[in-house]
Amino acid sequence: MEVLTSGLGTGVGAVMALQQAAGGAGAAPGLASGLAIGLGALGPGIGIGFGVGKAMEAIGRNPEVSGTILVPLLIGLGFAEAIAIYALVIAFILSGR
């Protein structure tokens, strides 16, 4: 269980602990990588939906500021999408590919 405290995050740490407990045999690598990408995409998906929704509300209230809102929105969406890409990389690492 030292993987859970190694600073990898609770979702990835739990998945790695599951893979280590199973000895890496059978369906554990597939399950571990599936959980890693599933849990890793959940947060960015919620964040992107929330961010775009609030931006559309702001533009709906004041359409003149759409240019001002667009740049920070795109930067924030890029950061959120990068987290999902990190989860995909971790899923590939866990699956052994």
Q: Where are the domains of the chain?
A: 2-95
Tokens for 57, please give them.
Answer: 């509300």
CATH architecture of the domain with range 2-95? Up-down Bundle (1.20)
How far is the CA of 40 from the CAs of 58, 80, 85, 90, in angstroms? Answer: 28, 11, 9, 9
**pLDDT surpasses 80 at 9:** no
Rounded to an integer, the average pLDDT of 28-50 is 86
Specify the pLDDT at position 75: 92
Cα(7)–Cα(69) distance, integer angstroms: 34
Report the SS3 class of residue 5.
helix
Q: What is the pTM assigned to this prediction?
A: 0.61
